[in-house]
Structure 1
Amino acid sequence: MSAEPEQSRNVLGRVINEFEESAIALLLGLMTLVTFANVVLRYVFNASLIWGLEVTLILFAWLVVFGVSYCVKVTAHLGVDAVTNLFKPKGRKVLALVSAACCIVYAALLLKGSWDYWAPFAALQPTEGRWFPTGFMTGVRDRAFYTTDQVPMLDMFRWLEPLINYDETYDKLPRVIPYAILPVGAALLLFRFIQATVGIVRGTRDSLIVSHEAEDAVDELAARHARKE
């Protein structure tokens, strides 16, 4: 079998990993900068960024959504393994795969729901089908004219006006931009769950929840000290 498909998957994984880490670092930096600037303006100059709180809330929401998928990748999500630890390794692997399959279905449903919620804000059509998409709806009124409350419109997004807002100018940032994290985050989560499932099948990871390697290392170190004494 050619190694090219495997190499392509690795490249895709690295690209997505760098994208997530860069986005998380950028969001944290921007949140800190905006909050710090607002504090200085308020207590030193008796002024404030009227849009500062809303921008911080948007950045925090983006950070949380990015963090959900990234924590799947680094096995940082908490879970209860009291039952699974009662089984032998093969049984635990089967249960892990069942859990992973449920998570994949959940992420797929979340992706559909995220797209259906975001699409009207982008002048697009939501999908048909109660659980899984069977096509696209027609005649759904778009919500592209909805804007944020205080965030000013940035010139770099003016290209959206003729594309989705019928050449009408935006005085505030359209909601299609902050809401875009919903389908993007759901797609990343689905990718991470599929990636984790492949890892479980190959034996490179044990489960979807946080590992106990650190806990085991502490116990082993304590046992060594006890033997020395």
Structure 2
Amino acid sequence: MRVIVASILLSLAATAANARPVSYQGGWTLIEETDRQSTSLWTHYTVDPALSLGLRIEWDRQMDFVFAGGQATFLGKRWFGENYQANIYPVLGLGHAEGIDDREGLSGLAGFAGVLADWETRRLFVSYRNRVLDAGELGDQFMQAARVGWAPYEGDTGDLHTWLMIEVDHRPQNDEPVGITPLVRFFKGAALFEAGWSITDDQPLINFTYRF
């Protein structure tokens, strides 16, 4: 019984703590993400507890193209322990990429595949994600990123929660292939906000999520 109660409490906290790519069934989520590589805006609808479908627009500032298309995210596996939760999410996307600025005139079918994984307690957080993108004549791209975080205090449901984090990403096609970004995460209720700065590229990280 103690394990069940702890799992329920952790699930409630974890649902708010992350930009969950799969929410509760029937829920909508709006997500904005800006990092040293790109800025994206996407919204998804959770069809069932193991699948969300959405639309994504992404501006890749390093490779000068804009992607627009659909994204499907699957809950591959979820683990509950007495004081932790872990998840694995496979991700697939398909759409159109259009070159901009110096690459204007290039365009074509584009697709990507990747995996998101996380593990957390009420005070500790670890995540990993990767993505392979094929944008046709606009080029291929691979990225991976790992993040660790720590909450300086435990808040109750409905409180303002704070996490201190650091993210290390690897993008082999970039001039600076390894990036380091310290950041802070705040969430309260259905809203999550992250702000940080890449000390590698001197670029901001700004993420916002809201679940409806």
Q: Which structure's CA Rg is the greater one? A: 1
> Could you state the TM-score of these two structures normalised by the residue count of structure 2?
0.22
Greater RCO, CA 8 A, separation 6+: 1
Which has more helix, going by share of residues? 1
> Could you state the TM-score of these two structures normalised by the residue count of structure 1?
0.21
Which has more strand, going by share of residues? 2
